[in-house]
Amino acid sequence: MPNIVLFSGSSHHDLSQKVADRLGLELGKVITKKFSNQETCVEIGESVRGEDVYIVQSGCGEINDNLMELLIMINACKIASSSRVTAVIPCFPYARQDKKDKSRAPISAKLVANMLSVAGADHIITMDLHASQIQGFFDIAVDNLYAEPAVLQWIRENIPEWKNCIIVSPDAGGAKRVTSIADRLNVEFALIHKERKKANEVDRMVLVGDVKDRVAIPGGTTWPTLAGTICHAADKLIDAGAIKVYAILTHGIFSGPAISRINNAPFEAVVVTNTIPQEEKMKACPKNTGH
C-alpha cells in the first residue's frame, strides 16, 4: 500500500501544516521559486515513486501564479512515478466563470478543470464550489466538501438567540444551500434578489421574507463584492427590522475597500472558514472571525 506524501503550495502554508498535523505527517520537501523572467520553478525534494501524493494549493492571493505552480507540482510528481496525485484546492480558482452567460464569454472553470487533468491530477478535493455542476467538468474523481456542518456548529455555539434566527440567501442560486441550513436548524429562511446593471455591480436589492425582530444570517460560498453587496444587504436587513446581522461565508474574499466597509457595517460578526488565509485580514477587521 503506498504511503501518503503531503506537499504544500505557496498559497496557504498554514492550512497545509494544520492538515499535516491532523494526519500526523511531515510536509513533503518542495522548493518553489521564480526565475528572473517570472517563470515558476518547482523542485520536488524527495522521492515520490509509488506514493499517494496530496498537494494543497488554494485559489487565492496571486491566483494565476498559484494555479500555475499547482499544475507544475502535479506534473512533477506524476512524471516522478507517483501512484496517484490528488490536488486539494479549498477555494477553486475561476469557479464563478462556470457558464456562458453572454456572447463570446469563456467558461474558464472548465478550462481550469482541463488543465488540472492534463497536468496529471487523478483526484480533486475542493470545498463549497460556487456551482456543484463544476464537478461535471472533470473526467476524474472530484470530492466537493461542504462547510455546512461547521456553519451549524458555529451558529449553535456562538449565537445565543439562534432559535430566533432567519437564514438569508444572497441570491436565488444560493437558496438550496440556505434552505438546507435553515431546515437543519428548524428556522425560517429569506432571499435577497439582486438586480444587476453588470457583473459585480448591484443596482437594486429586494428582500423576500420577514426578518422583523429576528437575528438575520446571510450566508453563501463567497461574495467577492463584499465591499458593497454584503454591506448593502446588512443595511437592508436592519432597515427591515432585523435585530442583529451575522454573515457566514465559506470563502472570505475581501477585496478592495471590503475591510473598511465591513468595519462600518451593522454586523455583529463576519464568519469565514480558512480556505483562504485570513490572519492579516482579521487584524484589520475585528468583525472578521476565521474558523
**171: Cβ–Cβ under 8 A, 6 or more apart, which residues?**
191, 192, 193, 194, 220
Q: Is it the case that residue 223 has pLDDT exceeding 60?
A: no
Note whether 32 and 102 are same-domain residues.
yes
The pLDDT value given to residue 135: 94
pLDDT at residue 225, rounded to an integer: 47
Lowest mean pLDDT across 56-70, 75-89, 173-187: 173-187
Do 111 and 219 have their domain in common? no
Averaged confidence pLDDT in the chain: 90
Domain count, the chain: 2
Q: What tens digit of pLDDT does each residue of 256-279 get?
A: 778 888 888 899 999 999 999 987
Beta strand 84-89 pairing with 52-56: parallel
- Residue 87 and residue 184 share a domain: no
Structural domain for 263, as ranges: 148-290
What CATH number corresponds to the domain at position 170?
3.40.50.2020
* Residue 72 predicted with pLDDT over 50: yes
Q: Are 177 and 125 contained in the same domain?
A: no
Q: Which three cell numbers stand for residue 209?
A: 421574507
In whole angstroms, what is the distance from residue 20 CA to residue 11 CA?
A: 16
- The dihedral region occupied by 120, where left means phi > 0, alpha psi between -120 and 50, and beta the remainder, is left
List pLDDT tens digits, range 2-28.
799 999 999 999 999 999 999 999 999
d(CA 19, CA 171): 33
**Cross-strand bridge partners of residue 33:** 41
Report the DSSP pairing between strands 30-34 and 40-44. Answer: antiparallel
Residue 281: pLDDT over 80 = no
Q: Do residues 124 and 69 both lie within one domain?
A: yes
Span 94-144, pLDDT tens digits: 999 999 888 999 999 999 999 999 999 999 999 999 888 899 999 999 999
Q: Is the pLDDT of residue 202 over 60?
A: no
**Same domain for 204 and 75:** no
Residues 6+ apart with CB under 8 A from 24: none
123 and 240: one domain?
no
